[in-house]
Amino acid sequence: MFIVNSYTLAVILCFVIMLCWGSWGNTQKLAAKSWRYELFYWDYVIGMVIFSLLLAFTLGSHGSEGRPFLEDFAQADMKNIMWLLVGGVIFNASNILLSASTSIAGMSVAFPLGCGLALVLGVINNLRVEASQGALTTNLPVLGLGVALVVAAVVLNGIASGKKGDSNSISKADQKKGIVLALIAGVVMSFFSSFVMRAMDLNDFAHPEVGKVTPYTALVVFSLGVFVSNFLFNTLVMKKPFVGEPVKYSEYFAGNVKTHLVGMLGGAIWCLGTALSYITAEKAGAAVSYALGQGAPMVAAIWGIFVWKEFKGAKKGVTGLLALMFCFFIAGLACIIISGNN
């Protein structure tokens, strides 16, 4: 299977993670022109499962290192399978909330707030898993500084979001609801990665401990956990939506092929980023790979500001706040990269 063998390559791939995690929301924005996000989310999850299997039977099954996907899945302990499924369920709950926030308040608000909070708490959770496996090599003070800078960027984004102009056609009540949903999503999301990392041998992907799984098996089982839990979570949201009227399953099947494919593309983009997050966890460390990937809010904010014009007509001073936000993000990400190069 494909394994990352250097810290430099791991960092490069972490920027791809950031790009993927920060960009999949564009497919939701595209679909939203004629498609409720609850319906989009079904295609998103299906795309995630399909792409995880594609990676498992290609990159995860060929090469001289590591166990091939099917062999690895067959030897996995049930305890580790359960960790992965729980991780999928936790992620799904958080991502539905994040998607709802995006549909209400926009990418430039939902992603920095939700993913920024998930970054801080998720790094702490992943550090605990690394320590439990004896795989902790991160420079904690430098990592802490990086995370603190990202938190500062998140605060700046929150201030800027409160100064949005009326041209965005979002009421103050909906704006507040979007922010609250993003914050809840961030807290819940911070736990999913640590559950997945428990199931993998973070010390040696080429010769993993018996019962542990490779990143590719982890991705497939995790995605199945998302898919199965979606019958509960998304059905509830369809019946009791955060905004708008209830949605019926008949509306999903009435959608055209192009609309379904846009949603599946979103799931595939997110899945690629997640696969790389797992694959780079050995060389970069679980906390660092997760932290760099969660630089996604900066990418999402760029999309929201320059492509979707979510801050058009904003009050005076917003441009300066956003510029300062990006500076803090960049400085924070630099510290995170340095902290793992030991």
Mean pLDDT along residues 176-199 = 92
Mean pLDDT along residues 103-115 = 74
Q: 326, 255, 283, 214: which is closest to 42 by C-alpha?
A: 255
Mean pLDDT along residues 146-156 = 84
Q: How confident is the model at residue 167 (pLDDT cuts 50, 70, 90)?
A: very low
**Do the domain assignments include residue 26?**
yes
For residue 162, is pLDDT > 70?
no
What are 200's strand-pairing partners?
Answer: 213
**Do the domain assignments include residue 251?**
yes
Q: How confident is the model at residue 252 (pLDDT cuts 50, 70, 90)?
A: very high
> What's the total number of domains in the chain?
1
pLDDT of residue 108: 65
Mean pLDDT along residues 70-91 = 97
**Do the domain assignments include residue 91?**
yes
For residue 238, is pLDDT > 80?
yes
> Using CA atoms, how far apart are residues 215 and 76, in angstroms rounded to an integer?
12
pLDDT tens per residue across span 197-225: 999 999 999 999 999 999 999 999 999 99
**Do the domain assignments include residue 25?**
yes
- The helix, strand and coil proportions of the chain, stated in percent and rounded to the nearest 5, come to 75, 0, 25
> Using CA atoms, how far apart are residues 326 and 297, in angstroms rounded to an integer?
10
pLDDT of residue 105: 77
What are 213's strand-pairing partners?
Answer: 200
For 92, the domain range is 7-340
How many CA atoms lie within 13 Å of 9's alpha carbon, on the beta-carbon side? Answer: 10
pLDDT tens per residue across span 42-62: 999 999 999 999 999 999 999
**Do the domain assignments include residue 2?**
no
pLDDT of residue 170: 66
**Do the domain assignments include residue 179?**
yes
**Do the domain assignments include residue 1?**
no
**Do residues 141 and 149 make contact, with C-beta atoms less than 8 angstroms apart?**
no
**Do the domain assignments include residue 98?**
yes
